[in-house]
Chain A
Amino acid sequence: MAVPILKLGSDLIASIQSALSDEDLIRLKDDLARQIGEWRSRGVVVDVTAADVMDSFTIRTLLDIAQVGRLRGADTVIVGLKPDVAFAMVQLGLRLDGMSTGLDLEEGLALLRKRREGPADGG
């Protein structure tokens, strides 16, 4: 199932609504990489609220998305990790190093806005 990507101002929002296959994730990465250039986006929010599990492939893809985004001039924020998912990730040693995280979509957008307004301080 493809992940819908919404454009909101200078940001892109990708909301993962169901369990994704590896192909879906790769497609999401490609789509985002393309659309960032297309819309000249400055920020990307990936919402994983609906995800009950985060496996290593998902996390690697998210990290890839962040890196690709940065190379194309957009900050990436992951939002909507559930407490137990976060706990499980930490226990499995899966880390989102070098990536911003937010509680939910609202926080994620606020974080991106804040970054743009004051690029000096990194969150």
Chain B
Amino acid sequence: MSSATIQTDGHQAPTFTTAEQSAMRDLWTVYDDHYDEISQEAERGLAEDPEFGPLIKGMSRDLMEQQNQRSRALMRDAMRDGRWEPYLADLLEQGANYARMGLSFVSWYRAIGVIRPSILRRLRAAYGEDSDRLLGTLKALGQWFDTAMSTIGDAYLNTKEQIIVEQQEAIRELSTPVLTLMDGLLLLPVVGLIDSHRARQMTDHLLQGIHRFRAKVVVIDITGVAAVDTMVANHLIQAVEAARLLGATAIVTGLSADVAQTVVKIGVDLSRLHTVGDLQGGVSEAMEFLGYRLERTATGTN
């Protein structure tokens, strides 16, 4: 395809028969002749739309005019001359932008619902006498909308997928902090689901932390872990053993009653882990191990 250089993300230009092409040109002729009127009608029709309304109001005349000219040129290339790739590439880009702005996909159908009758009316006026020609342009109109909407739909899906990936990345980054509580004591709070990827990252962070802060004891708090299965238990054991290889003792805290029951029921052997009921207990045990003593001073306010 000659469009190899243009990024259309799997969107190929629609292929039309000669008859369809000439119908598309007929459609364009009518659309082009009444372009400004149709744009204005669409603008009026969408002025009260909950999503497009504010968007249209927020746009300056100049910007709108500029955008109109731009899409007009792209559509002319596509519908009159059969060069669809630049038009589709533009739609993909615009779709992605609107998706990021939070414009819903359904709203595009509302927009089409406004534009379609306005074009249909003019098609009837132009080709009303010639029913074959009219039918051809109607079909072309459908093809045009289908192509445009599937492209925009794809742009939406791509954008949403990308957002999901970004958020997953953010959650991963957020969720494995290694905190220093005092000299030689690290805290690793684990929240959410532990999958292999996260477990690896968690253990990695923990080991780097032990090395950097010269920690002797680490408290791994799993209060925020919803479910512990064999996999998760093994990940925990691995983390604890790896910590021990660096000379640090690990204390696991925060096994809830439910989690403890599950662990016993599925028969996971956690006897190699040193577990303490809650974070407070774990920290005080760690402090004892390190030779610290927490003392209340007389100057305290409470």
Known: A87-B204, A103-B211, A103-B214. A81 touches B245 (CB 8 A): yes
**Selected contact of B247 from candidates A87, A95, A101, CB within 8 Å:** A101
Question: Considering the chains assembled together, what is the distance between the CA atoms of A83 and B248 in angstroms?
Answer: 12
Check B242 against A111 for contact (C-beta < 8 Å): no
Of the candidates B239, B245, B246, B248, the one having the most CB atoms from chain A within 10 angstroms of its own CB is B245
A86 within 8 A of B: yes
Whole-angstrom distance between the Cβ of A48 and the nearest chain B Cβ: 10
Task: Tally chain B residues at the interface, Cβ within 8 Å.
Answer: 17
Minimal Cβ-Cβ distance residue in B for A87: B242
Check A83 against B246 for contact (C-beta < 8 Å): yes
Check B210 against A103 for contact (C-beta < 8 Å): yes
Known: A102-B247, A103-B247, A107-B247. A83 touches B241 (CB 8 A): no
Question: Which residues of A sit under 8 angstroms from B208, Cβ to Cβ?
Answer: 83
Of the candidates B204, B211, B241, B247, the one having the most CB atoms from chain A within 10 angstroms of its own CB is B247
Question: Considering the chains assembled together, what is the distance between the CA atoms of A96 and B214 in angstroms?
Answer: 20
Main secondary structure of the interface of B (DSSP, over half): helix
Of the candidates A91, A96, A101, A103, the one having the most CB atoms from chain B within 10 angstroms of its own CB is A103
Check A101 against B238 for contact (C-beta < 8 Å): no
Question: Considering the chains assembled together, what is the distance between the CA atoms of A91 and B199 in angstroms?
Answer: 12
Question: Considering the chains assembled together, what is the distance between the CA atoms of A90 and B238 in angstroms?
Answer: 6
**Selected contact of A87 from candidates B207, B214, B244, B248, CB within 8 Å:** B207
Contact with B along A91-118 (1 / 0, CB 8 A): 1000110001111000110010000000
Check A83 against B210 for contact (C-beta < 8 Å): yes
Chain A interface size range: 10 to 19
Whole-angstrom distance between the Cβ of B197 and the nearest chain A Cβ: 14
Question: Considering the chains assembled together, what is the distance between the CA atoms of A43 and B158 in angstroms?
Answer: 62
Question: Considering the chains assembled together, what is the distance between the CA atoms of A52 and B50 in angstroms?
Answer: 62
Whole-angstrom distance between the Cβ of B294 and the nearest chain A Cβ: 21
Question: Considering the chains assembled together, what is the distance between the CA atoms of A108 and B245 in angstroms?
Answer: 12
List 15 other contacts, CB 8 Å, given A90-B241, A103-B210.
Answer: A81-B246, A83-B242, A84-B204, A86-B207, A86-B245, A87-B204, A87-B242, A95-B241, A101-B246, A102-B247, A103-B246, A103-B247, A107-B247, A108-B247, A111-B247
Residue numbers of A with Cβ under 8 A of B are 79, 81-84, 86-87, 89-91, 95-96, 100-103, 107-108, 111
- Sample 17 A-B pairs with CB under 8 A, ordered by A number: A83-B207, A83-B208, A83-B211, A84-B204, A86-B245, A86-B246, A87-B204, A87-B207, A90-B238, A90-B239, A90-B242, A96-B244, A101-B246, A102-B247, A103-B210, A103-B246, A111-B247
List 6 tightest A-B contacts by C-beta distance, closest first: A83-B207, A102-B247, A86-B245, A90-B242, A103-B247, A86-B242
